[in-house]
Amino acid sequence: MRHDLRVAYIWSFEEAASIKDARQRSLHRTEEAFSRVANGLGGRY
């Protein structure tokens, strides 16, 4: 017996907004980390 199945993935605007917000937070944290590293370079230690 053979079954033909299809999968439908529903992309909601809420999900898209949530992912966008998560990417923005991640980018912000990464920029802060690089800033801390850059500020530490050329220091006494």
Condensed to tens digits (0 to 9), the pLDDT of residues 4-37 reads 989 888 889 998 999 999 999 999 999 999 988 8
How far does the chain reach from its first CA to its final CA, in angstroms?
71
Quote the number of domains for the chain: 1
The Cα-based distances of 43 to 16, 30, 31, 35 in angstroms read 42, 21, 20, 14
Between residues 20 and 42, which one has the greater pLDDT?
20
E strands, 1-45, where? none
Prediction pTM value: 0.59
Domain holding 15, by residue range, is 1-45
